[in-house]
């Protein structure tokens, strides 16, 4: 994946919205990080996968929640990672 767009998070809570921004840009969709943050309903606890899914669908993506191994993913994806 050369030249994959990259955007910086403002804080630890907006990772999902920023990942969505990168994926959207990769597929030729132009949205600001602020717009995607608002559509993702970020709270002080972060954002849920459901809210990221809803935000992605609101800008024209189809989404599907699955449980899988990371090595089985073949396309740009937003994944939930537990860092403990």
Domain ranges of the chain: 12-72
Per-residue pLDDT at 24? 92
CB hemisphere CA count around 32 (13 angstroms): 3
- Give me the chain's average pLDDT, please: 84
Lowest mean pLDDT segment, chosen from 40-49, 53-62, 68-77: 68-77
b/e map of 12-48 (b: 16 or more CB within 10 Å)?
Answer: ebbbbbbbbbbbbeeeeeebebeebbebbebeeebbe
Could you please state the CATH topology (level 3) that the domain comprising 12-72 is classified under. Answer: Cathepsin B; Chain A (3.90.70)
**Statement: residue 81 has pLDDT above 70:** no
Per-residue pLDDT at 49? 87
| pLDDT tens-place string over residues 15-47 | 888 889 998 998 999 998 889 988 988 888 888
Using CA atoms, how far residue 61 sits from 9, 18, 31, 56, in Å, is 22, 15, 13, 5
> 46 forms bridges with which residues in the sheet?
43
């Amino acid at each position: 994946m050369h030249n994959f767009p990259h955007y910086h998070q403002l804080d630890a809570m907006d990772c999902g919205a920023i990942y969505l921004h990168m994926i959207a840009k990769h597929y030729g969709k132009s949205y600001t990080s602020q717009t995607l943050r608002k559509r993702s309903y970020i709270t002080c606890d972060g954002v849920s996968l459901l809210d990221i899914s809803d935000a992605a669908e609101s800008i024209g993506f189809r989404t599907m929640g699955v449980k899988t191994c990371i090595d089985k993913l073949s396309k740009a994806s937003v994944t939930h990672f537990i860092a403990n």
